[in-house]
Structure 1
Amino acid sequence: MTATEDVAAGLAVATFTDAMSRLVSGLAVVTTRQDNGTPCGLLVSSICSYSVNPPSVLVVVDHASRCHEPLRRSTEFGVHLLGIAQERTARTFASRGADKFADVAWEWDGSVPRLCPAPIYLRCTTTALFGHGDHTVLIGEVTRTEVEDAEPLVFYRRLLDWRLRGTGARRR
């Protein structure tokens, strides 16, 4: 099936969403502390490295997310890049569950909730944020990095169960 939309005539949301679902991305859980002292977190696929000097990441958060306001107000947040062993964690943080931390191993890293384990953990200080459309873009300067070798959990065509092996992605 081929879908074509004329940008000048107004891009159809469904066609745009379908097109972007074909962009392979890694998955990360972004965490912070809420004003009441409890942890909050969400699964994101809109994340990338932003700068090497200083080391920074760019994270995009939907305004409708329960973590949007805590992340917008916080000065620190954690980024947990997930591996294939964290598929259950990804599904938990993608859900609208009330307490996403109830069945997940985690600890405080200062004021940042840190998931245990996560192959890659980045502790970040918020250096910039701005709104665009229905999302907020956060820029975080990385103040701590922990890296373990693991196959990444890959998001493609709205599925969390893709694996990178050898020369290409295969669904298990």
Structure 2
Amino acid sequence: MTATENVAAGLPVATFTDAMSRLVSGLAVVTTRQGNGRPCGLLVSSICSYSVDPPSVLVVVDHASRCCEPLTLSAEFGVHVLGSAQERTARTFASRGADKFADVVWAWDGSVPRLCAAPIYLRCTTSAVMDHGDHTVLIGEVTRAEVQEAEPLVFYRRLFDWGLRRNGVRQL
């Protein structure tokens, strides 16, 4: 057996990864306050609406992320759904940079770091945390939502720069 096979399913990891790269998703930055008081954040593509009553989102975070532990310990976090004009922000928060907030306009919303330019902002209280495989699943109840019109930043086949036209035809 190699490192590219999943023992339980016998499924090659490369095949699974390629299949999931063909799933179109939006991109969001998830933020929280670390124990030392500093902000932390990361880019996620594994995010979805979880419940309407109460309004909740589900976010999935890799255990290897430096923000995983602060997110699992925090009572609150922010979800910032990015617009097509925020590819640079997406790349910044996807990186392992030391200070991802240095070149981004942001402010504290209570204990949650808020990215000011994100067209969708959801402030959440953590209602459930569970581990599965090499990731942690967070469920957050939305306590504040702000929405502005913007074209979405779409992630497809490992690319951040996909766009959508209103007629559904892809545009680069």
State if a TM-score over 0.5 links the two structures.
yes
Rounded to whole Å, the distance in 2 between the matches of 1:101 and 1:166 is 32
* Partner residue, 2:92: 92
CA contact (8 A) 2:42 2:94 kept: yes
1:168 offset after TM fit, Å? 2.0
CA contact (8 A) 2:32 2:113 kept: yes
Rounded to whole Å, the distance in 2 between the matches of 1:127 and 1:45 is 20
Q: Does 1:77 align with 2:71?
A: no
Gap regions ≥5 residues in structure 2:
none
* Partner residue, 1:149: 149
* Partner residue, 2:105: 105
Cα distance per residue 1:126-148 (max 9 Å; x no partner): 00010000000000000000000
Check 1:169–1:112 CA distance in 2 against 1; reply closer, same or farther (3 A cut).
farther
Cα distance per residue 1:78-114 (max 9 Å; x no partner): 0000001111000000001010000100000000000
TM-score by length of 2: 0.94
Check 1:159–1:169 CA distance in 2 against 1; reply closer, same or farther (3 A cut).
farther
Give 1:39's aligned amino acid: P
Cα distance per residue 1:51-72 (max 9 Å; x no partner): 0000000000000000000000
Q: RMSD in angstroms over aligned alpha carbons?
A: 1.6
Check 1:8–1:57 CA distance in 2 against 1; reply closer, same or farther (3 A cut).
closer
Check 1:170–1:72 CA distance in 2 against 1; reply closer, same or farther (3 A cut).
same
Gap regions ≥5 residues in structure 1:
none
Check 1:118–1:8 CA distance in 2 against 1; reply closer, same or farther (3 A cut).
closer
Rounded to whole Å, the distance in 2 between the matches of 1:64 and 1:12 is 21
SS of the equivalent of 1:98 reads: coil
TM-score by length of 1: 0.94
Deviant stretches of 4+, over 3 Å: none
Rounded to whole Å, the distance in 2 between the matches of 1:104 and 1:90 is 11
* Partner residue, 1:162: 162
SS of the equivalent of 1:161 reads: strand
Instruction: Give the paired residue count.
Output: 168
* Partner residue, 1:59: 59
CA contact (8 A) 2:31 2:112 kept: yes
CA contact (8 A) 1:31 1:79 kept: yes
CA contact (8 A) 1:162 1:169 kept: no
Rounded to whole Å, the distance in 1 between the matches of 2:89 and 2:36 is 23
Rounded to whole Å, the distance in 2 between the matches of 1:13 and 1:40 is 29
SS of the equivalent of 1:168 reads: coil
